[in-house]
Structure 1
Amino acid sequence: MAGIKGNRRILYTKKIIKESLLKLLETREIHQVTVTDICKNADINRGTFYAHYKDAYDLLQSMEDELFSQIVKYISETPAEKYYDSLLLKVLELIKENKDLCKILICRQGDNSLLDKLIFIANKADLEHIYNASDEINKSYSNYYIRYIVGGCIAIIQTWLENDLPESPKEVVKIINSVSILSNTYITNSNTNHLFK
């Protein structure tokens, strides 16, 4: 019984530490946040923080890793033919549940690590299969195609987050799928036949 209470305490402590960081990141950049700031805001001592994380960067990285682990889990649980709707909806609902974190990761971070992670996930999810591209797009161009699709999805999600999620996740699924269909139609009908077999 003591173990369960201990685990609950650890989970609660991590939760308030994460909430503290997110609150601080509303008005500051990550490089401006100190462990002291996080501890003061969470009303914990530094030793408690250091029992779980090295610094603010480690904490943010941990939060990002948890989010992406959940996305990878969704991918492994979802049949490929349901990626268009079911998987995309699960991911968008996860983003909505973690709105504050996702605003920081998608809208405010100025590096390409998010895009690189999403491209890795897209490769893992076999986006060629999702978009029926495996028979049409030359294999040597598939990396460009995946970057194009993922980049477009990120841009839509970023706009959605910046506008404070006015549409439901289901509506955003429709938007992404509509744009993807239009895009695929344009690529197929364009004069860029050198991209195809």
Structure 2
Amino acid sequence: MKFIIIFLVLIAFMTICCSQKKSIEIIYYSKSQDKPTNIDEEKVYVLKKKALNADFDTTRLFKIDSIKKTCSTIKNIFEPINGVYNYYQFISTHLGRKLVFPGENLKDSLMIGHDILIIKTDNENKIIDAFQYTLEWGEYPLQSDLYRSTINGLKIKNHLKIEQFKFVSTENNLFEDNFEDGRVIWLK
């Protein structure tokens, strides 16, 4: 009888301990299609997803070249996983130009591009880590367009300028891109 009581107490204890681990909680999600900004306009990163008890999978991010390249599979790499942080996902929809070869019409080079920005913050919304990537990037290595922020402690806020993140290429840390073309984030 003692063993049964001890066994039940042990199971109850394990249930309580295991249930205290918080799972990811999506608190904001938007599927809205944004109108692209023009080439000469400020690029805006619009909030698409916010999650609590989340993180991002840096292992998958750094292995971006090992996956089959489609826009949807690339985007999945940037989705949140279970963790202990606040997670933000932003998308910038903008007009851009494809590579134009001599003799081709510049007018035909316009395309709609999408940049993704993911940010991990602590409970005070101070940035711990962030990555930026162009979803339509088609040149290998794909890693060459994945940028990681070199700044932390910056507090996330509406109209935060992307240049404040001080992004560096994850491929070899030689390519810096401060995105000084007036990009901002919107926390709508």
Same fold at TM > 0.5? no
Return the TM-score normalized by structure 2: 0.29
Return the TM-score normalized by structure 1: 0.28
